[in-house]
Amino acid sequence: MKAIILSGGKGTRLRPLTYTGAKQLVPVANKPILWYGIESIVAAGITDIGIIISPETGEEVKTKTGNGEQFGANITYILQDKPAGLAHAVKTARPFLGDSPFVMYLGDNLIQDRLSPLLNIFKEQHMDALIMLRPVPNPTAFGVAEVDSQGKVLRLVEKPKVPPSNLALVGIYFFDKSIHAAIDRIQPSARGELEITDAIQNLIDHNLHVEASQIEGWWLDTGKKDDLLSANQIILDTCLLQPVVAGNIDEKSQISGRVQVGEGSTLINCTVRGPVTIGKGCHLENCFIGPYSSIADQVHLVDVDVEHSVILQGAKISGIHQRIVDSVIGQRAQLHAAPPRPKALRFMIGDDCQIELT
């Protein structure tokens, strides 16, 4: 059994962050989104993993993620020269996959459910495809499945105006080698891409064994700012179970709840209310850090109030006397302010920006 993780694409919904980096490397609770998928796959016993990368961001993905040793996996990087659809990604990975069954995992998705039970069902019932579904309030924004009472998939529709159900396709799929022939039989869609929904529909049309399983835990598609912040909140709630303080906290600082402070970080006259994670080598002075905030390594904050936000590595913020809420601040961004005006500020700031409020 092998796995492929899709870590290409242009990440248009997360711009300006993704003008300079891969969306799958944006951190949630100070860990790249992509790494959660790798860890989930390895936990299911699959260690031969191919990561689909793009020409624009592939080197960054390779540099930060490495050869897989830190995850107990063997990672092969597979270049997809253009974002021509999920089925095209599978086609690109065919030399790596061979005839092996495999799981395909979209690198900007997070799920709570373990993959092992799903993998066992797929293997024991000798399926050609097993798809994951989750009820959603807005099915027109997703690929949607129509299934019978036994879980057999009858029909798939991509972003339908009139959905046949409220069951959206989660970005995780199990396939046997028959998917390759199905991809060879389909044509590009109206948007010029080889759609994985069309390939799965082709399997159904050829009476092959395609079933669906509804996931029970949360499913997070982190493609937009608000989705990213929601993911950060849920991961902090579910994964940050105990406070861990490895940095230096002065006597004037107050920490309450589940708070993680990394090695080499210094907090001076700060109030931190968890769940919060603060990375390594940070300097925080005269700050309030409210719940559901993630502060990456080497961040410098002085005279700042932050809540429900994600601040990426190397950012510097000072003199902001209004509370920063619901914000994502890019790597090495610099934000400084003169006298206060509004009560709260919201930002989506890309890497290497410099902003001064006057």
**CATH number of the domain within which 297 lies:** 2.160.10.10
Q: Are residues 228 and 349 in the same domain?
A: no
Q: Are residues 307 and 325 in the same domain?
A: yes
Pick from 153, 238, 263: nearest CA to 204: 153
Q: Are residues 87 and 209 in the same domain?
A: yes
Count of structural domains within the chain:
2
Residue 15 reports pLDDT greater than 90: no
Helix axis angle for 178-185 and 196-205, nearest 10°, is 100
Residue 242 reports pLDDT greater than 90: no
How confident is the model over 308-348, as pLDDT tens digits? 999 999 999 998 888 999 988 888 988 887 655 556 666 66
Residue 151 maps to which CATH number? 3.90.550.10
Q: Are residues 219 and 176 in the same domain?
A: yes
Domain boundary among the residues 236, 260, 295 is at 236
Question: Mean pLDDT lowest for which of 30-34, 157-161, 199-203?
Answer: 157-161
pTM: 0.87
Mean model confidence pLDDT for the chain = 89
Residue 47 reports pLDDT greater than 60: yes
Q: Supply the pLDDT for residue 354.
A: 61
Percentage of the chain modeled with pLDDT above 70 = 90
Domain boundary among the residues 236, 271, 302 is at 236
Find the domain containing 101 and state its range.
2-236
Q: Supply the pLDDT for residue 61.
A: 92
Judge whether 294 and 311 are in contact, CB under 8 Å.
yes
Q: Are residues 205 and 265 in the same domain?
A: no
Q: Are residues 180 and 292 in the same domain?
A: no
Q: Supply the pLDDT for residue 122.
A: 96
Q: Are residues 99 and 201 in the same domain?
A: yes
- For residue 224, name the pLDDT band (cuts at 50, 70, 90): confident
Q: Are residues 190 and 251 in the same domain?
A: no
Q: Are residues 136 and 278 in the same domain?
A: no
How confident is the model over 252-293, as pLDDT tens digits? 999 999 999 999 999 999 999 999 999 999 999 999 999 999
Beta-carbon count within 10 A of 208 CB: 17
Query: Which of 52-66, 141-155, 262-276, 343-357 ranks highest by mean pLDDT?
Result: 262-276
Q: Are residues 210 and 72 in the same domain?
A: yes
Q: Are residues 96 and 226 in the same domain?
A: yes
Domain boundary among the residues 236, 264, 290 is at 236
Q: Are residues 27 and 150 in the same domain?
A: yes
